[in-house]
Amino acid sequence: MRICVVGAGYVGLVSAAVFADWGHDVVCLDNDPLKIGRIRAGNLPVYEPGLPEMVSRNMEKKSLRFTTDWEVAVKDRELVMVAVGTPPGEDGHPNLTALWNVVKSLKASIRDHVLVAIKSTVPVGTCAAVSRFLNEDREGRFDIISAPEFLRQGSAINDFMSPDRMVIGCRTEAARQSMKELFEPLDCPVIFTDWQSSEMIKYAANAYLAMKISFINTIANLCEEADANIYQVALGIGLDRRIGPAFLKPGIGFGGSCLPKDTKALVALGETYGVNVSLFQEVLRINHEQRVRIVKKLEARLEGLAGKRIAVLGLAFKANTNDVREAPALAIIHQIVQAGGQVVAYDPVVDMKDLSPLYGFTPAEDAYQAVTHADAAVLLTEWDEFYGLELERVRELMNQPLLVDGRNLFAPQVMRQLGFHYIPVGISEEHVANSLVPTA
Ligand SMILES: NC(=O)C1=CN([C@@H]2O[C@H](COP(=O)(O)OP(=O)(O)OC[C@H]3O[C@@H](n4cnc5c(N)ncnc54)[C@H](O)[C@@H]3O)[C@@H](O)[C@H]2O)C=CC1
Ligand SMILES: O=C(O)[C@H]1O[C@H](OP(=O)(O)OP(=O)(O)OC[C@H]2O[C@@H](n3ccc(=O)[nH]c3=O)[C@H](O)[C@@H]2O)[C@H](O)[C@@H](O)[C@@H]1O
């Protein structure tokens, strides 16, 4: 199929590369010339395992091209897939400026019949509005499809190629057949729905995942006070097939460009329709409190943060991505700095150049430099590199061996034996001291 993917971000670049790998002829358009220049030079703007190899392989084969030019991008295309950002606006509703700019460009540059699949996460009703706008001059010229994406950053290629399901919202048999053909290599159920249900499925899925995380964090906080162990609790409830084991990892709350944004969008949607969505407001409030709780733990152990040197290990919102959009680490650093603490931070892949003056921290070359003379360290991203730290060396370098672990990377008993004052999430200090049962 001759495909144009609009937007060369996490979703667009991955979609374009995989479609090309499946043998389609793909042009990927982005309106950021710097981004397109970097991609063409083999220096991808997003960190995603396996993606650089897939992009360069298909660029060499000429099955994947990049452009900023609309005429080049849409020439002879059968399908245009839109994957531009839909960031949260001030009022919680997604900002659809980029999407509508694309839709206007499509209307201006395409004359023949074309399929337009919206992969961006868009509010319920958007596909209908886009279809009305694009077809106002000639009915049926643009056939609109809602094709929400469920990949996760850090495992994007694998998720894209092995999804649990595909959801396609469409109105015509031609669109249905084209999507069946396009996603034929996938071995998963394909659900065909109307536009609105497809759009709602995307928000509902992300809000449910967000709710699960706020749920387990609440139980973790209770475990800390009631001398229980969140690992045993998560295992015990996760084995119930009605609950399931995924997304029950306690920590510092969810971040990233989507779970917070999409949960806020559902709150905004509820307000639009006058539907009580306080459940989602509470999910967001709990998520915010979880970040504050980490800083309170530090403050309590250090008797205040003024003048204290705090090492922050990890900035990305989770491992295997360089993305810091809504990263809990940045919110936590902000609080520590506000309370008078001095932060030295390290992340294996995040570019800290612009972030360090903005958030008022000192960047470190590696984890060991970050912890040197630190009064405490806070671990905020579960990078593999941190699993492999020489912990005795870390302890020796610190002013005092206080480690607040927002990701529960280490076994508490081992940390205790190594002489750390180790504070994980969801396991009380008494529990660590007294339990004979392994905790992590
Ligand atoms: N990041 C993720 O893991 C997932 C994101 N989504 C959704 O997919 C959409 C895209 O997300 P990301 O890829 O993370 O965004 P991103 O911000 O990484 O990429 C968006 C790209 O669109 C480009 N763009 C903006 N306006 C444009 C225009 N008028 N013409 C051409 N290009 C334009 C930007 O320059 C940027 O490169 C969002 O709606 C998001 O909610 C869905 C599932 C997963
Ligand atoms: O719409 C999107 O953009 C995507 O949003 C999430 O994917 P992503 O944001 O890449 O990352 P997740 O793995 O979901 O993690 C989100 C946040 O939750 C946190 N998390 C996740 C799982 C868990 O058990 N506990 C937990 O705290 C992570 O550390 C991270 O901060 C969804 O998982 C994807 O299905 C969806 O496509």
DSSP string, 157-216: HHHHHS-S-EEEE-SSHHHHHHHHHHTTT--S-EEEE-HHHHHHHHHHHHHHHHHHHHHH
The domains spanning 2-193 and 209-434 adopt the same CATH topology: yes
Which amino acids are annotated catalytic? 258
> Could you tell me if 421 and 301 are in contact, meaning their C-beta atoms sit under 8 angstroms apart?
yes
pTM of the model: 0.95
Residue 10 burial by CB count (10 A; 0-12/13-18/19+): exposed, middle or buried? buried
ipTM of the complex: 0.98
Pairing relation of β-strands 190-193 and 166-169? parallel
> Could you tell me if 312 and 333 are in contact, meaning their C-beta atoms sit under 8 angstroms apart?
yes
Q: Residue 227: its pLDDT value, please?
A: 92
Query: Hey, where are the domains in the chain?
Result: 2-193, 209-434
Q: Residue 430: its pLDDT value, please?
A: 79
Query: 297-308, pLDDT tens digit by residue?
Result: 999 999 999 999
Q: Class assignment of domain 2-193?
A: alpha beta
> Could you tell me if 223 and 426 are in contact, meaning their C-beta atoms sit under 8 angstroms apart?
yes
247 lines ligand 2 (CB under 6 A): yes
Report the 10 Å Cβ neighbour count for 121: 22
What's the CA gap between 62 and 64, in Å, rounded? 5
Encoding tokens for residue 393?
A: 């060396």
Q: Residue 372: its pLDDT value, please?
A: 98
Among 119, 209, 290, the mutation site with the greatest number of ligand 2 atoms within 8 A of its Cβ is 209
* Protein residues whose CB sits closer than 6 Å to any atom of ligand 1: 6-12, 29-32, 35, 83-86, 98, 101-102, 120-121, 149, 151, 153, 257-258
Q: Residue 112: its pLDDT value, please?
A: 86
CATH number for the domain running over 209-434: 3.40.50.720
Q: Residue 140: its pLDDT value, please?
A: 84
3-state SS of 129-163?
A: HHHHHHCCCCCCCEEEEECCCCCCCCCHHHHHHCC
**What stretch of H or E contains 57?**
helix 51-60
In this prediction, the residues of the chain whose per-residue pLDDT falls under 70 are 435-440
Among 257, 261, 320, 325, the mutation site with the greatest number of ligand 1 atoms within 8 A of its Cβ is 257
> Could you tell me if 177 and 194 are in contact, meaning their C-beta atoms sit under 8 angstroms apart?
no
Which ligand has the nearest atom to the CA of 247? 2
Can you list the alpha helix ranges (DSSP code H) found in 65-109?
Answer: 70-74, 97-109
Q: What's the CA dihedral at 266, 271, 276, 278 to 10 degrees? A: 60
